[in-house]
Amino acid sequence: MSRIETHVHYRIQSGKLTEFKAVVDGLAATAQPAGACLLRCDWFVNEAHGEAIAMTVYRDEAALCSHLEQACHSYGCMAELCGQIEYEVFGKLGEAARRLLPVDNAVTLHFATGLSDARSLAECDCPAVGAIEIYTRFDIHPGKLELFKQLGAQLFQIVDDKDSGTLRYDWFYDEANLRCVVMDTYADTQGMFAHMRNAHDAHEKLLEHASMTTQFLGELPGDAFVAVEKYEPFIASLHARLTSS
């Protein structure tokens, strides 16, 4: 699979959020529109926390290099406005491409498994309006990798067999096998609720062997928010999207 996806978490300096958003708006206005090479470029903002998430999907490594070269100045300005940037790359990059990344400590993750009927392919590019997109990161406890993978495989099989409203359920592991990231997308709240019912018990077992961080990307419908409110969810609203020309 040649496509490359990135998830970038920006922790913006206090008082710099408005300036950061202006840089994003400028990038969205001048960058090459999403299309054959740049499949997705969405920016999400959590105003309360002063944080932003960028989700980008590239056709291949060459597309990533082209975009980063074109937007080098914008990404440099963003870095100056941030106290911390966490950069994750889903896919294999060569050394030339890695040198173009705006940070030196990007984490590379490899694809492990996804839904068997390939219903997630288009959703990986750009989730439809009304879909619920979730990013979940598991930091695996020391010495628990094999147990985590076994329980993760059981959880994945439940979802693959039973979830009809789950559009994407992709699992990735980092090179050190210390981090697992799951990208899931649901058609609507009914799909998310069905997943929660189907996966609850297996998910609880998984959490015995890892800590979890979850991000909801986009607006969360009221009934879905009520269902997860007690967990104090991190919700980032869509701020800008590069669309196809």
Per-residue pLDDT reduced to its tens digit, 124-173: 566 776 789 999 999 999 999 999 999 999 999 999 999 989 999 999 99
Alpha carbon distance 242, 24 (integer Å): 11
Query: Helix 61-70 crosses helix 72-80 at what angle (to 10 degrees)?
Result: 70
User: What is the structure's pLDDT at 120?
Assistant: 46
Per-residue pLDDT reduced to its tens digit, 81-128: 999 999 999 999 999 999 999 999 999 999 999 997 655 455 456 677
Instruction: Output 241 or 83, whichever has higher pLDDT.
Output: 83
Confidence band, pLDDT 50/70/90 cuts, at residue 219? confident
For the CA atoms of 196, 209, 114, 125, the dihedral, rounded to the nearest 10 degrees, stands at 80
Q: Where are the domains of the chain?
A: 4-242
User: What is the structure's pLDDT at 33?
Assistant: 64
Alpha carbon distance 163, 157 (integer Å): 10
User: What is the structure's pLDDT at 36?
Assistant: 67
pTM for the full model? 0.92
Class of domain 4-242: alpha beta
User: What is the structure's pLDDT at 54?
Assistant: 98
Please check the confidence at residue 65 and state whether its pLDDT lies above 60: yes
Give the rounded percent of residues in the chain with a pLDDT score beyond 90. 80
Alpha carbon distance 28, 71 (integer Å): 10
